[in-house]
Structure 1
Amino acid sequence: MIKRESYLQQIRPFINQNVIKVLTGIRRCGKSVMLDLIKDELIDRGVDNRQIISINLESGEWLLKNRVDQLYDHVKEQVLPAKKMYLFLDEIQEINGWEKAINAFLIDFDLDIYITGSNAKLLSGELATYLGGRYVEFNIYPFSFKEVYEINRLDGGAAELPQLFHNYLRMGGMPFIYDANIDENSQKKYLSDIYDSVVLKDIVERNKVRNIDLLQRILLFLMVNIGNPFSAPAMIKFLKNEKRSLSQETVYNYLNYCEAACFAHLVEREDIVGKQVLKFQEKIYLTDHGFREVLYGNNERDIQQVLENIVYMELLRRGYAVKVGKVSTTEVDFVADRGSERIYYQVAYILAEAATVEREFSPLEAISDNYPKFVLTMDDFDRSRNGIQHLNIIKFLLAD
């Protein structure tokens, strides 16, 4: 188990602070492991194990007792008198009325509370309603390539770097794939099972979706078209050709369900010159591109799209807010903002021809500000020009 230090660095300042620590992310991305890492940190600080209350609300123990009063009573029984206690609740959305229990815990006991959930909008929405500003949210994602590289290094460097990245390109970063050292067929079976769980539990059941076949077709459309400008009319036309009809409102409802389940990201466009957010032709990216390989295939063939997806998710991991940039009639793949910092990125497979070089560099050259600008490709040679830096994607992913 690796420590996932980048997440711990974000969480540490809030340990023992009177705010709820909320860890959200797609199922099986490592949220439960993060709770274990926080517990280890507390014990290293001298906290007695008896001060830690840990409940996994998906375990069999809680299948038949999912009432909020039972949760409250269970925690109350374990609170030690005159002691600071630490409460860890995994997959909190499994308890109806959980937000009322959290509010009661804050009022009645001296608790430092950490919760996880697989529905980001549900958690943030309910907490905002009941707790005001008394929570802080941390987005947990599947393994970055750097984390996969670190696991491989701890295993004695069993895989060469190109082989390691090739597998990551195809199978994504869900932690169990790398922790369990399973073969490719088992990896695909595991990813398929996670996908089914996300669709059925976090999208269908949560949102009472009746037409599951239509939802599956929409999800396949999204996976095929990652990195391409999204258009609801284009999706409607695609489904009409398959003799399925739906409204534009339904399309966006389903997209919202996918975002809430931490499965996909709808990325807005920004007019860089006009400083306006454009509410059309957004792009879709997946939280983990391994699902695409399992459900659709062709990650290697569509490497340009998948590389964009990998870079987009890496920027989220590094704490950037990301948009797609528009400069006149051209596009910048990513505009990444973090505080006062801004960086522009173009992503391509290789700069094999002069036309490709021009396509990737010219939109960045048209931006008149002095923020850093990068072109990321799989090339090993450096074609930086006019202040625009050209980097190898693997080196970018492994950088601090």
Structure 2
Amino acid sequence: MKEIVRHNYLNTLSVLKDQNLIKVATGVRRCGKSTLMKQFQDVLRNENPDVSVLAINLDMPEFRFLGEQNWKKIYDYILENIKKNQTNYVFIDEVQNLPEFEKLLEGLYVHPKIDLYVTGSNAFLLSSELATLLTGRAFEINVLPFSFADYLEFTEKKTNPDRAFAEYVQTGGFPEAVLLSAKGNNFANEYLQTVFKNIYENDISKRYRIYAEESYQEVVHFLIDSVGSAISARNISKILTANKKKIDHKTTSKYINTLVEAYLFYKVNRYDIKGKQHLATQEKYYMVDLGFRNALLGKEQISDTGHLLENVIFLELKRRNHQVWIGKTDRLEVDFVARNQEGYTQYIQVSQTVQNPSTLARELAPFDKIHNHNEKILITMDYETGTHNGVKQINAIDWLLNL
């Protein structure tokens, strides 16, 4: 399969190379974590042809067999196959498949001749249960499916970015789904349905008790249909129960958490801009990849285009290593409060179009309530750009491509 270089992630790995940290690449299954690690192994070999690289994929039968016996079998295998008098770069794929994997990580971390890199498809890998063990020892790199820029490079559809963007929103950014979409959207949809089933079977149902699969699917579909909308587990359970699909809010909350743990959704909390405090109610959820929406719901992407664009912008902010919140100012809402690694804050509104004057006024209104000097941006699919009383209006495709 054709590969593209994920420069941002590779640069991060290069900076962390030889640092006394466990490098942990996390993210949803099939998003490209294993390919990223192979690309970094190539970087290491290009830098030094005599480098010692040892790669283990715990999804592979031979290593899964060892791991099912106990973690010490994998540990002993690694020690038997590393070189004694130089640094060994050890890569372990899908480490969460190994019972008591934390003991393996701890043992390898303290070895003076091992620089350790692991991937995982479940947030349990860095959950509170492991926080004490890994605090100060692990650096997480959250890998996402293709960005729109990646998609253009992968498909070579750079001559008509507007049309390519519409296809990207429908197909999403899973590499294999993008390839299959060239043969027909039905192939991409069937592939994404298989990916979701694999995630459910390997990263959710094996780890968590799902009492009723039908109710679980209802919660999944509700979240997919509500991207960009403020929701709560209590509201979801009320709506589903009213539709004769009874489920209590505690079970709903648990089901949502499993989807977040498996990196299928990202939870975004609210932030009171004036009070400068985080709020614990009416959070929003964004999908890891919009291709799932069409594959699992069969919905035309023409519906709810504003929220879908919002989802794309959120994921791009994540790729750019921003902390992201939903902004609240008085009774109005700012789509995103985004803070970069240098602590620089932006306020971002997202709208499909603001060509209607009333829509433009509505989107600008929250900015009027913010009296600090941080940058304010309005991102739309309109070709018109410019400023509105200090607010920059930017075309979404230009923003995504950093033009």
Q: Which residue of 2 aligns with 1:93?
A: 96
Name the amino acid aligned to 2:259. C
Q: Is the 8 A contact 1:127 1:135 kept in 2?
A: no
> 2-side partners of 1:349 and 1:218: how far apart?
27
Cα distance, 1:182 vs structure 2? 4.2
Cα offsets for 1:364-396 (capped at 9, x unmatched): 122111111111111001252111000111111
**Farther-moved stretch of structure 1 (127-136 vs 333-342):** 127-136
Please show how residues 28-39 of structure 1 align to structure 2 within 5 Å: 28-39=30-41
Matched residue, 2:267: 266
**Where in structure 2 are there 5+ consecutive unaligned residues?**
none
Measure how far apart 1:183 and its partner are. Answer: 2.8
2:178–2:188 Cα contact (<8 Å) kept: no
Cα 1:183–1:48 change in 2 (3 A) is farther
Contact 1:204/1:212, CA 8 A, preserved across alignment: no
Q: Does structure 2 retain, via aligned residues, the 8 Å contact 1:169–1:300?
A: no
Q: Does 1:107 align with 2:110?
A: yes
1:11-160 matches, cutoff 5 A = 11-48=13-50, 51-66=52-67, 67-108=70-111, 110-125=113-128, 127-153=130-156, 157=157, 160=160
Match among 342, 345, 352 for residue 345 of structure 2: 342
Mapping of residues 269-308 of structure 1, within 5 Å: 269-296=270-297, 297-308=299-310
CA distance in 1, matches of 2:168, 2:112: 45
| Structure 1 residues 133 and 291, CA gap change in structure 2 (3 angstroms) | same
Deviations 1:157-207 (A, max 9, x none): 476222211111111111223356543211111111111111222122111
Unaligned runs of 5+ in 1: none
Secondary structure of the 1:64 match is: helix
The amino acid that maps onto 1:346 is Q
Provide the aligned C-alpha RMSD in A: 1.7
Provide the C-alpha distance between the structure 2 equivalents of 1:370 and 1:391, rounded to a whole number of angstroms: 19
Cα-to-partner distance string for 1:39-68 (whole Å, 9 max, x where unaligned): 01111110525x111011001223433221
Structure 1 residue runs of 4+, over 6 Å off?
none
Partner of residue 327 from structure 2, selected from 325, 336, 351: 325
Whether contact under 8 Å (1:26, 1:262) holds in the other structure is yes
Measured against aligned partners, the alpha-carbon deviations of 1:184-235 in whole angstroms (never above 9, x if no partner) come to 2111111111111112221221112232111111010000111111122321
Q: In structure 2, how many angstroms separate the alpha carbons of the residues matched to 1:365 and 1:290?
A: 35
SS of 1:76's partner is helix
Alpha-carbon spacing, 1:108–1:317, altered in 2? closer, same or farther (3 Å) = closer
What is the rounded CA distance, in whole Å, between the counterparts of 2:64 and 2:91 in structure 1? 18
Q: Secondary structure at the match of 2:387?
A: coil
Partner of 1:311: 313
In structure 2, what residue type is equivalent to 1:11?
A: L
Number of residues paired by the alignment? 396
Q: Which moved more, 1:342-351 or 1:54-63?
A: 54-63
Aligned amino acid, residue 223 of structure 1: I
Q: Report the AA paired with residue 174 of structure 2.
A: M
Q: In percent, how many aligned pairs have the same letter?
A: 34
Tell me which amino acid in the other structure corresponds to 1:321. Q
TM-score by length of 1: 0.94
Equivalent AA in structure 2 for residue 178 of structure 1: V
Helix, strand or coil: the match of 1:384? strand
Per mean C-alpha deviation after superposition, the further-off stretch among 355-364 and 271-280 is 271-280
Instruction: Quote how far apart the aligned CAs of 1:336 are.
Output: 0.3
**Residues 60, 182 of structure 1: alpha-carbon distance in 2 compared, 3 angstrom cutoff:** farther
SS at match of 1:236: helix
Taking structure 2 as the reference length, the TM-score comes to 0.94
Tell me, yes or no, if the aligned pair for 2:378 and 2:392 is still in contact at 8 Å.
Answer: yes
Structure 2 contact 231–283 (Cα < 8 Å) conserved: yes
Supply the AA of the counterpart residue of 1:173: G
Provide closer, same or farther for how the CA distance between residues 101 and 126 of structure 1 changes in structure 2, counting only shifts above 3 A. Answer: farther
Residues in 1 aligned to 2:127 and 2:48: alpha-carbon distance in whole angstroms: 31
Greater mean alpha carbon deviation, residues 343-352 or residues 174-183: 174-183
